[in-house]
Amino acid sequence: MTRLLVECTYVFEHPQANSGIQRVVRNVIRELPEPDGECECIPVVMLNGKLYRVLSLTPLPTPTFDLMSLRVRLEHWANAFWLRQRTLERRWPFHRSRLARRLLYVGCRVAAALCLSIPMRILDRQLNKDDIPARCAPLQHQPGDQLVLLDSSWHADFFPLAEQLKRDGVGIVSVIYDLIPLTHPQFCDAGLVRVFNDWFDWIARTADGYVAISTTIRDQVREEMLRRVGAKQVEQRWFDYFHLGSELDLTDETAAVDPGLERMFQSPDPVFLMVSTIEPRKNHAYLLDAFERAWASGSRARLCIAGRIGWKCDALIERIRRHPELNTRLFMFNSLSDRSLEHAYSRSTALVFPSYVEGFGLPLVEAMQRGLPAMGSDIPVFREIGGEFMVYFDLTDPQSLTTLVLDMERTGAFPAPRSVDQWHWLGWREASAQLVERVMRHLKKTPKGQRQHADCP
């Protein structure tokens, strides 16, 4: 029986993280198929140069103080602290004096180290010491095992262990969410671009197969592999894809909905919802431009931006916080729970998603599966997911979105060729089964003697 060792190291170490990849990993792991005599799926982590079977992906209940929640809260405070520092840099006297900016930065570094960075490092050590042994157990690998790199691993430190597993006869399969740091580096931090490029070089030399989350990304991966390792090596690898599910796994029906969100929906005026981390690639500035045109035309539609504050968005956040329509026709929520997000999906008029580039577009699926129609930028992966059930707007012209909003507000009708009521998408159980089935299908096609073709560094 083939064992699929499904790697989930980052989510194991950061169980409260809830962005796109972490949501995927958590749900796929939770819904892994039971052993069927042909395949056994085992969640694994690679820690300190060793392989472990995961016993619990989430922290175990403990009567002691919740250190993990404190660690997550400190991280949120750190992000807000540095956002405030960058905002202050653009104000008097700091924007006029290099010395003043330097003093501000040094003071902030000292304060952040004492109040945030050092406590976070102490908590990390304590959490690793107390929690990890109870949540996993050592696992001995075997020749013929397949290590499925499901989690985000470009920042990982387990590559020497993975290479040793490969030398011992373990196959390696890489799940790839997108190639944005390679294809659109302008939207990413320079450090991420460098790290991701090195990671892809490693994946290109080491993995036997690649599973993307859309046909669009699968084809991009094959093209990038052709460029890096050549046609002969590409012929020896396999490429496939699986689609993501749609359930919100952290929804707690007993939790309270965000009070500000509830107040917003008390008005009958339409609400257009945007769900994503706030960062340049998501194109929130385009949304503001389009809705400002609509408001200038007399529209009463509200724009609701839901998502944590990310990177390279200081000017945008300041624009939102100073906007004359803030909390009237423009709303922003940066820490909604899944319960509150469900509330927003169920009561909004439509989802708007103007992203420049995506590997999949999980909020589109989450919205449409709940009956919320979606408007998205006209990019290939959105066409793949939404087909005739979505409407698309031109990213070069905000007026194209403005017109859609005004027409929908005027007529009450969503202008897609087909109704979202007829649309159906797979759940996480089906998505997880699809991933396993496609990996196993390619393993059956490839004779065992040919599986170890990739070069080991």
Strands 374-377 and 391-393: parallel
Q: What is the Cα gyration radius of the chain?
A: 23
Sign of CA dihedral 92, 97, 103, 109: positive
Tell me the CATH number of domain 2-58+141-245+429-450, given options 1.25.40, 1.25.10, 3.40.50, 2.50.20. 3.40.50
Helix, strand and coil percent figures for the chain, each rounded to 5: 50, 15, 35
Residue 5: φ, ψ to 5°? -90, 100
Dihedral class, residue 387 (left if φ above 0, else alpha if ψ from -120 to 50, else beta): left
Domain pair 2-58+141-245+429-450 / 259-425, same fold:
yes
Q: How far is CA 259 from the centre of its chain?
A: 26
In angstroms, the CA 283 to CA 353 distance is 8
Structure letter (DSSP) for residue 326:
B
pLDDT at 454 (0 to 100): 47
Exposed e or buried b per residue across 58-89, where buried means at least 16 C-beta atoms within 10 angstroms of its C-beta:
ebeeeeeeebbeebbebbeebbeeebebeebe
Give me the pLDDT at residue 67, please.
66
What's the pLDDT score for residue 456?
A: 45
Distance CA 377, CA 318 (A): 24
From the list 333, 329, 340, 339, the residue with the least C-alpha distance to 270 is 329
CATH number of 259-425: 3.40.50.2000
Cβ atoms within 10 A of the Cβ of 116, count? 17
Strand intervals (E) in 302-356: 302-306, 330-333, 350-353
Per-residue pLDDT tens digits of the chain, which is 457 residues long: 999 999 999 999 888 776 778 889 999 999 999 998 899 999 999 998 999 999 998 876 654 456 666 776 777 787 778 777 777 887 888 888 888 888 888 898 898 888 888 887 887 776 655 456 688 999 999 999 999 999 998 888 899 999 999 999 999 999 999 999 999 999 988 888 999 999 999 999 999 999 999 999 999 999 999 999 999 999 999 999 999 987 775 566 778 899 999 999 999 999 999 999 999 999 999 999 999 999 999 999 999 999 999 888 889 999 999 999 999 999 999 989 889 999 999 999 999 999 999 999 889 998 999 999 999 999 999 999 999 999 999 999 999 999 999 999 999 999 999 999 999 888 899 999 999 999 999 998 875 545 444 444 4
Write down the domain spans for the chain.
Answer: 2-58+141-245+429-450, 67-134, 259-425
Let me know the angle formed at the C-alpha of 134 by 131 and 140, rounded to the nearest 5 degrees: 120
pLDDT of residue 69: 66
CA distance linking residue 244 with residue 123, whole number of Å: 33
Residues in the chain, how many?
457
